[in-house]
Amino acid sequence: MKKMIHIPAILLCLAMLTGVTACGGSGGQSSSAAPSAPESSAPAPSAEDEHEPVTISILHEHTAEAASNIVSSYGFVEMIKKYKEEHPWVTLEEEIIVDSGDKLFALAASDDLPSVFGNRYGWLPNFAGNGLAADITDYVDPSMYVDDLYCMTYEGRIYGLPNKYSIFNLVLYNEAMWKEAGYETFPTKIEDLIKANEYFEIKGIDTMALGNSGKWFATSLLTAGLTYENCGDEWVESMIARDGTNEWTHEGFVKSLADLQALTPIFNEDCNMQDDVWAMGWYMQGKAASHVVGNWGLDTARNMSGESPEVWANTRVALMPTISGEPNIMSSAVGGNSQSVNSKLKGAEFTAALELVEQICSPDYAELLASRGATAPVRIEVNFDAFEQPYKDFAAILNSHGTGMNITDYVDSSVANALHAAAQNVMTGASTPEAAAADVQAAQSMLLM
């Protein structure tokens, strides 16, 4: 599912012309003229008069604190503000809960979902399959979104819109360090990365900082890209679809785990015990020549740059190298957070809820995030020229590379957990690639029973 996101910026134009004319005259002459009527005897109709007042509700996770620290949360909150300003006839009831997944499923079980609620690809069998999310296929344009709304498609129909877009296999690297090591540009082949490790080991520097205590990082940042290269697009999509035609014991996936195992020496020895913030700090302190991370890492690095201005000044961005040396796909996830409409809504309530979803996931939202150096799943031309060099590098990657699905965001959670364990086990030597692949397949087979 490789797709290009380099397209002209989306321009939205809405023109409204309202005119009121009045004319009158007298059919004859009179010695006393009637007084002139006022131009308007009643106020112009307001938005409230033109629309049926409705009340809708939304459950989301974007607190004021999150909005002050996380760009995507800021954008989400700003879109709700914009919606309220433009929909004064709508009373919007908000419930804000951090990590709202458990609450959402409890509401679904009691058939008491809010008008608009968060959704994910892995949840579609629950919400779309059980008729809880509204089918909005006929109201949306999939081509507006970077994955053509694959993330919210269930059995050929669309059940929501995405408002999150993450790239997982970026590398922040210290250009000065790599030039000293003999590399004018960051390696494009994994074998060169491993070879460079010999130089950095002598210097007492880690070649690449990795924080995998969250377990999913190694899968998203490393295994996903290797799997696309070794297995191909069709195989990956087959495994995500659970169509039963392929298995995780495929030689290409086993090779991906073996390639990951071969990469392990380039990372800090405690990579499975440290998180990504620690790993970024390790890189920014000059203790590592590079750091593999997602696009959120750019903001983390910039926030740390006050104490490490020289490292930040030398930081460039590339995609994780490949076995072949050919450009890597962007391991991405669209719809890690999407918005759906409650299927019980009809008429004005449905319209109000759908328009809220469209606003949250709109080009307005994408442009707002882009103005702050962040990404959104709407197809726009990204321009980070006003930002520092790492952001410019990232924009060049966004506008020129194809995307692949970050596997862990699209498979069932039980399979995702097995993938995380497989990565960690081969990295620590606790399992062979063959045995680890068999464990993942066992988790998949349980779903097909």
Domain 167-333+395-448 grouped into CATH 3.50.50.60: no
Query: Mean pLDDT over residues 31-58, rounded?
Result: 56
pLDDT value for 334: 82
Is there a shared CATH topology between the 51-165+335-370 domain and the 167-333+395-448 domain? yes
Structure tokens at 107: 């509401």
Task: Tell me if 210 sits within 8 A of 292, measured CB to CB.
Answer: yes
Query: Sorting pLDDT into bands at 50, 70 and 90, what band is 398?
Result: confident
* Mean of the per-residue pLDDT values of the chain: 87
Task: Tell me if 370 sits within 8 A of 385, measured CB to CB.
Answer: no
Q: How many CB atoms lie within 10 A of CB 152?
A: 29
Give the number of residues written for the chain: 449
Model pLDDT for residues 64-95, shown as the tens digit of each residue: 988 887 888 999 999 999 999 999 999 999 99
pTM of the model: 0.79
- Among 115, 121, 81, 160, smallest CA distance to 368 is for 81
Structure tokens at 46: 């307001």
Is residue 273 over pLDDT 80? yes
Domain boundaries, the chain: 51-165+335-370, 167-333+395-448
How would you class 167 by CB atoms within 10 Å of its CB: exposed for 0-12, middle for 13-18, buried for 19 or more? buried
Task: Tell me if 357 sits within 8 A of 160, measured CB to CB.
Answer: yes
pLDDT value for 336: 67
Is residue 330 over pLDDT 80? yes
Q: Per-residue DSSP letters for 181-207?
A: TT-SS--SBHHHHHHHHHHHHHHT-BS
How would you class 251 by CB atoms within 10 Å of its CB: exposed for 0-12, middle for 13-18, buried for 19 or more? exposed
Model pLDDT for residues 149-207, shown as the tens digit of each residue: 999 999 999 999 999 888 999 999 999 999 999 999 999 999 999 999 999 999 999 99
In CATH terms, the superfamily for domain 51-165+335-370 is Periplasmic binding protein-like II (3.40.190.10)
Q: How far apart are the first and last CA of the chain?
A: 27
More confident residue, 146 or 317: 317
Q: Percent of the chain scored above 90 by pLDDT?
A: 70
pLDDT value for 285: 97
Which segment of 131-135, 247-251, 326-330 scores lowest on mean pLDDT? 326-330
Query: Mean pLDDT over residues 27-49, rounded?
Result: 38
pLDDT value for 387: 93
Which segment of 55-59, 181-185, 395-399 scores lowest on mean pLDDT? 395-399
Rounded CA-CA distance 172/291 in Å is: 5
Q: Give the bridge partners for 339, in sequence order.
A: 118, 161
Model pLDDT for residues 171-185, shown as the tens digit of each residue: 999 999 999 999 999
More confident residue, 10 or 295: 295
Task: Tell me if 424 sits within 8 A of 264, measured CB to CB.
Answer: no
Query: Sorting pLDDT into bands at 50, 70 and 90, what band is 49?
Result: low
Task: Tell me if 167 sits within 8 A of 334, measured CB to CB.
Answer: no
pLDDT value for 21: 31
SS3 content of the chain, % helix, strand, coil (to 5): 45, 15, 40
